[in-house]
Structure 1
Amino acid sequence: MIGILGLFLGMGLLIWLALRDVNIIFASVICALIVIATNGLPFADSINQTFLFGDLGAFTFAGRFFLLFAAGAMFGKIMSESHAATSIAMALVNALGAQRALWITVLSGALLTYGGVVVFVVIFAMYPLGLRLFQAADLPKRLFCGAIALGAGTFTLTALPGTPSIHNVIPTLKLGTDLFAAPVLGIFGGAMMFILGMAYLERERRIAKANGEGFVAGPNDSIPSMESIAKDVPHWGLALVPLVLVIGTILSPRLATIMGASPDTPWIAFASSQPVLWPSIALALASVVAVLIFATARRNAIRMMGIGTQDAIIPLLATSAVIGFGGVVAQTAGFGAFTQAIVGADLPPLVSMFAAASTISGITGSSSGGLQIFMATFADAYLALGVSAEELHRLVAMASGGFDSLPHCGAVIVLLQITQQTHKQAYKDIGIVTVIVPVVATLLTLGLAMIL
């Protein structure tokens, strides 16, 4: 009994500390120690072999995905500092008009993250322009939070096939799939997230207008002019080149095979066998191309790449620490009982899979953490139940991106800090578009998978 209580205490404390902006690495270690002590797990082995270096160990995960995090952060830094990210957003402003601030924010975030720019960089890059657009349209800042969360933190990370996000890469290591697994399901799920999310945001825009709720700048907001934002911005067509290159490089082995190339061709075989390294190469290659074509990036290219790589360390370690905590939890009898109850439940396998992935991601407050834990502890059972590897890849990735965004999610907390909003002010909109919308879209996609 004390083990179960300790398990809930550890998980509850992790959520409580995260909500109070306590460093998630520190919180994960403290909560892991509580679970170890209350469940009678061997102390030294649980720390050294489970939390740090086990299959779900913090440093096991960090080592496995370091290059992907580093390459993504480096690419994002170059796209931001070269103003290429701003150029793409400005092109949407010119095409749609500044009054379409919600659409511009969502589409810009989606283009950038699908092209490989990490979420945090997108938020930083879009915020100055977002302030100007939302002030001009007299829309409340809370809707900027919802719009950037929808565009940069939902369908481009978990649903759309081909994205180089960590969420799309993790299943490939266990299942032997590629980044384009179950493309029909992914496109359908992504479309549902976009449509439902935009419908909600547009509804909130109309309500805000009717209630006289408008833009209010934060105490530290400095709102730039459109002229200063557009200064030194490359042409939008040029700005798209690195993004297209990332997706094109990732897609090239599949296209070559479709066009008749043998899967045994050395470079195709290499790309197919390296689900982490290949997208990392794509991001690094795009970074080099971006440096070559953007004059502002060439001035301090090496330094910029170094800063970008450094920027990857804290997000990587934070995610790794949560996974290490999950690894300790996975060793307890309580988690074993939970696993047996979920897998053995009298439910269709895809439904119980959704429940398991959603629960784990909600507990950890991390979609990538929940996804890694699911793949290590549940994947074999669902493959044995007859779920295809491609369906499992896509549906679990999508399921992990729902309850991960509860109020204690690290990405949510960072977004609120950057935009100077509180949970009370902005979490309702963030929660609707990153929890409710992805959950509904995933269930609809799950239903489609059962029909097909």
Structure 2
Amino acid sequence: MIIEVLAIVFALGLLMFFAYRGYPVIVFAPIFTLLAVVISGNALMPSYTETYMTNAANYVKNFFPIFLLGAIFGKVMEMNGAAASIAQSIVRALGSKRAILSVILACAVLTYGGVSLFVVAFAVYPFAVAIFREANVPKRLIPGTIALGAFTFTMDALPGTPQIQNIIPTSYFGTDAYAAPVVGIAGSLMVFFGGLWWLERRRRQAEAAGEGYGTDHKNEPELLTNQTYPSLWISVLPLLLVLVFNYLLSRGFLDVTTWYNAELLKSFNIASVKTVASSWALIIALCIGIVSALCINIRQVQSKLAAGLTAAAMGSLLAIFNTASEVGFGNVVKTLPGFKLIQNWIMGLSSQPLISEAVSVNILAGVTGSASGGLSIALEVMGKTYMAAAQAAGISPELLHRIASMASGGMDTLPHNGAVITLLAITGLTHRQSYKDIFAVTVLKTLTVLILAVIFSFI
């Protein structure tokens, strides 16, 4: 049995190592999956075609529309200048004395409005450079600041956020994007103020040491003083429409769960509309957001729409297939003999399902370097177990949703995380220069989730 456990650990380790080294997960996830299968003595080809590929395909079927529409929405908001307008307006309003806070808020508004994390990093970076330079704050603090605003509380904690990490749990727990709002808001405040305190502390330390913005930096953007953007109020309209319609379609008078009767849904193999309602709501809301965003600076967008849509589609394909590959990996792993021991160990860490769930999602998100990948694997493998344990303990499925979603955004930002690597590339900085602050935000998020899991397990 030890060999079977080592087979899984070895395969996970190889997947993590190759992802860190920049090799494509799409290629190497099935290779390491089948390596674990061979070592464990299971059937090779059925494990690949009937387990790995079937579950990867199901993930694509369930979530590709959200990946695609989210990428298109973010790209259009970038092309029409609305994302830059929002960032610029917030930075100017708060001024250089609040450089760190203004960048955090600019990222938070865009992310919560449905713009993808990568687009947010590209859109906010030029303004972050301008205000950090003006305030003489070290450039090395920019990645940690953007990470706090875009990769943490607005990604998976605030109720209603349209990011994929908040949508994935709805398929497993029958919840919606607004699950456990009190827990989500409490966690968001803890992460926001804790992260702001850390970054301001780091700024004061640099100031006391006489360190300024610095010189000879890479990837310095051009000054944006002469560039014009849409007005703030027009720019935020698509974001507001996504949020408003997502709510109305989830919990308001347009609730999609009332659109079709149960008999009709059964003919489409939908046993419960709750498992698909959140996806339906977000798909429609993003479509409305895209149409409204296309109406802003339509002439400017029209000239580069074809190239922009192609880039968005390609980006969404890479993202969904990377995550689907990890989901396929997780589903094969759960069929292997050694997995039962690993599952018992994780479940044995705590008899409380919320605590156990927070730990398992965090571990898998860290190993895979992906919040959505780790979350999907954990819920595919142990979602039903957590649901049963929570029902036995009288714990709401909404709490399971929120803790799982928030836990995915904890240790996922280890050095091999794709978003971290991309963020550092955008800013022209290295892990050595800036990762300490990204890691601090990561640790803060992880501790916040564990604290909330403990509190709500015993009240």
With the length of structure 1 as denominator, give the TM-score of the two structures: 0.91
Which residue of the partner structure matches residue 246 of structure 1?
Answer: 242
The CA distance in 2 between the partners of 1:364 and 1:239, in whole Å, is 35
Q: Is the 8 A contact 1:358 1:400 kept in 2?
A: yes
Q: Is the 8 A contact 1:35 1:328 kept in 2?
A: no
- The answer to whether 1:445 aligns with 2:452 is yes
Deviates more, 1:347-356 or 1:363-372: 347-356
The CA distance in 2 between the partners of 1:241 and 1:208, in whole Å, is 38
Deviations 1:5-64 (A, max 9, x none): 22222111222222222223233233223212221221111211222213xx2x321222
Q: Which residue identity does 2:142 align to in structure 1?
A: F
The CA distance in 1 between the partners of 2:446 and 2:7, in whole Å, is 29
Work out which of the residue numbers 61, 73, 98 in structure 1 matches 2:96.
98
- For structure 2, the residue ranges without an aligned partner over 5 or more in a row are 266-272
Deviates more, 1:174-183 or 1:136-145: 136-145
Which residue of the partner structure matches residue 63 of structure 1?
Answer: 61
Which residue of the partner structure matches residue 140 of structure 1?
Answer: 138
Residues 370-381 of structure 1: matches in 2 within 5 Å? 370-381=374-385
> By how many angstroms is 1:220 displaced?
4.2
Q: Which residue identity does 2:398 align to in structure 1?
A: E
Deviates more, 1:90-99 or 1:320-329: 320-329
Q: Is the 8 A contact 1:36 1:46 kept in 2?
A: yes
The CA distance in 2 between the partners of 1:406 and 1:102, in whole Å, is 22
> By how many angstroms is 1:263 displaced?
8.2
Work out which of the residue numbers 354, 360, 363 in structure 1 matches 2:358.
354
- The answer to whether 1:266 aligns with 2:273 is no
Q: Is the 8 A contact 2:361 2:407 kept in 1?
A: yes
Q: Which residue identity does 1:438 align to in structure 2?
A: K
> By how many angstroms is 1:345 displaced?
4.7
- The answer to whether 1:282 aligns with 2:282 is no
Deviations 1:133-155 (A, max 9, x none): 22222222221100111111111
Which residue of the partner structure matches residue 402 of structure 1?
Answer: 410
The CA distance in 2 between the partners of 1:450 and 1:376, in whole Å, is 22
Q: Is the 8 A contact 2:69 2:286 kept in 1?
A: yes
Work out which of the residue numbers 219, 222, 230 in structure 2 matches 1:234.
230
Deviates more, 1:442-451 or 1:281-290: 442-451
Which residue of the partner structure matches residue 10 of structure 1?
Answer: 11
CA spacing shift, 1:50–1:267, aligned 2, 3 Å: closer
Which residue of the partner structure matches residue 88 of structure 1?
Answer: 86
Q: Which residue identity does 2:385 align to in structure 1?
A: A
Q: Is the 8 A contact 2:331 2:381 kept in 1?
A: no
Which residue of the partner structure matches residue 435 of structure 2?
Answer: 427
Q: Is the 8 A contact 1:156 1:163 kept in 2?
A: yes
Q: Is the 8 A contact 2:245 2:285 kept in 1?
A: yes
> By how many angstroms is 1:159 displaced?
0.6
The CA distance in 2 between the partners of 1:135 and 1:121, in whole Å, is 22
Deviates more, 1:327-336 or 1:301-310: 301-310
Q: Is the 8 A contact 1:67 1:277 kept in 2?
A: no
Q: Which residue identity does 1:15 align to in structure 2?
A: M
Q: Which residue identity does 1:247 align to in structure 2?
A: L
Q: Which residue identity does 2:444 align to in structure 1?
A: V
Work out which of the residue numbers 100, 110, 113 in structure 1 matches 2:111.
113
Residues 377-396 of structure 1: matches in 2 within 5 Å? 377-385=381-389, 386=391, 387-396=395-404
- The answer to whether 1:170 aligns with 2:168 is yes
Deviations 1:389-408 (A, max 9, x none): 11100111111211111112
> By how many angstroms is 1:264 displaced?
6.8
CA spacing shift, 1:367–1:263, aligned 2, 3 Å: closer
CA spacing shift, 1:338–1:203, aligned 2, 3 Å: same
Q: Is the 8 A contact 1:291 1:301 kept in 2?
A: no
> By how many angstroms is 1:184 displaced?
0.6
CA spacing shift, 1:268–1:285, aligned 2, 3 Å: farther
Which residue of the partner structure matches residue 31 of structure 1?
Answer: 32
- The answer to whether 1:41 aligns with 2:42 is yes
Q: Is the 8 A contact 2:73 2:286 kept in 1?
A: yes
Q: Which residue identity does 1:190 align to in structure 2?
A: S
Deviations 1:65-118 (A, max 9, x none): 111001000000011111111111111122100342211211111111111000
Where 1:275 maps in the other structure, the secondary structure is helix
Task: Give the total of aligned pairs.
Answer: 443
> By how many angstroms is 1:298 displaced?
4.3
With the length of structure 2 as denominator, give the TM-score of the two structures: 0.90
The CA distance in 2 between the partners of 1:40 and 1:141, in whole Å, is 52
Q: Is the 8 A contact 2:112 2:162 kept in 1?
A: yes
> By how many angstroms is 1:219 displaced?
5.6
Where 1:274 maps in the other structure, the secondary structure is helix
Q: Is the 8 A contact 1:326 1:364 kept in 2?
A: no
The CA distance in 2 between the partners of 1:40 and 1:244, in whole Å, is 53
The CA distance in 2 between the partners of 1:217 and 1:70, in whole Å, is 39
Aligned alpha-carbon RMSD (Å): 2.3
Deviates more, 1:201-210 or 1:436-445: 436-445
Q: Is the 8 A contact 2:256 2:277 kept in 1?
A: no
Identity across matched positions, percent: 37
Where 1:70 maps in the other structure, the secondary structure is helix
- The answer to whether 1:183 aligns with 2:181 is yes
Which residue of the partner structure matches residue 369 of structure 2?
Answer: 365
Which residue of the partner structure matches residue 150 of structure 1?
Answer: 148
CA spacing shift, 1:27–1:428, aligned 2, 3 Å: farther
The CA distance in 2 between the partners of 1:327 and 1:50, in whole Å, is 7
Q: Is the 8 A contact 1:105 1:148 kept in 2?
A: yes
CA spacing shift, 1:281–1:377, aligned 2, 3 Å: same
The CA distance in 2 between the partners of 1:130 and 1:263, in whole Å, is 40
Q: Is the 8 A contact 1:68 1:277 kept in 2?
A: no
Q: Which residue identity does 1:367 align to in structure 2?
A: A
Q: Is the 8 A contact 1:253 1:268 kept in 2?
A: no
Deviates more, 1:172-181 or 1:367-376: 367-376
Q: Which residue identity does 1:238 align to in structure 2?
A: I
Q: Which residue identity does 1:251 align to in structure 2?
A: Y
> By how many angstroms is 1:308 displaced?
2.1
Deviations 1:239-269 (A, max 9, x none): 1100000000111135535xxx898753899
